[in-house]
Amino acid sequence: METYQPESDIQQPAETEAHEEADRLTIKQFTLDTLETLILAVILFLGINAISARVQVDGTSMRPTLEDGEFILVSKLSYQFGTPERGDIIVFRPLIPGDELIKRVIGLPGDTITIEDGRVYVNGLVLSEPYIAAPPVNVGSWTIPEDHIFVMGDNRNNSQDSRNIGAIPLENVIGKAILIYWPPPEWNIISHTNVAMAAP
């Protein structure tokens, strides 16, 4: 017994071509959308890297302000139209190529830094430093050259800084540390103490 398929159920050549064209357009649109997303992601990645950096604290030289293993967001724009100030926590490239370092700015170009009796003096005025782990036990005096800064770790007695490696050229400064973003429980805006100085 013969059966007949209604004409409405028989796909006509024109309809088949229309479906195939629709499939091609869908694939083309998906490809374009994917490319646009990838391009946007690359632009955002490059843009974010142009204005910021992400670094991990390695060691205990900045205790108690920063802890070993914390991840820090660094603003590269902070010093595009200015220079570091005393009390700023900065990330910089060391004089001898190696990992980037994070320390606090203590002295500016032309300053004389003196350490004695557990105190730090800038141009003869003693610094008030509530952020340090303990008073420094070493002694010494340094005059900061033009276009350089003097940096120290907050953990004064466990820090390789300008006392050992010398003043840091301003051109080596990468940016200003602004935020602890990892681990989440430690998330916090980094406080940049306005270093107070008083008569000795």
Per-residue pLDDT of the chain (200 residues; tens, 9 = 90+): 555 555 555 555 666 666 666 667 787 777 776 767 666 655 555 555 555 578 899 999 999 999 999 999 999 888 988 899 999 999 999 887 778 999 999 999 999 999 999 999 999 999 988 899 999 999 999 999 999 999 999 999 999 999 999 999 999 999 999 999 988 888 888 877 666 555 55
Number of domains in the chain: 1
In a domain, 1, yes or no: no
Distance CA 135, CA 80 (A): 33
Q: What's the CATH number where 137 sits?
A: 2.10.109.10
Nearest CA to 146 out of 126, 171, 169 is that of 169
Distance CA 119, CA 152 (A): 13
Catalytic residue chosen out of the listed positions 52, 76, 78, 103:
103
What single-letter amino acid sits at 128?
Answer: S
Distance CA 184, CA 186 (A): 5
Is 30 strand, coil or helix?
A: helix
Walk across the sheet containing 196-198 and list its strands: 140-143, 112-116, 119-122, 125-128, 196-198
In a domain, 44, yes or no: no
Catalytic residue chosen out of the listed positions 61, 78, 159, 162:
61
In a domain, 19, yes or no: no
Query: Do you find a cis peptide bond into 64, omega within 30 degrees of 0?
Result: yes
103 is catalytic: yes
75 is catalytic: no
In a domain, 59, yes or no: yes
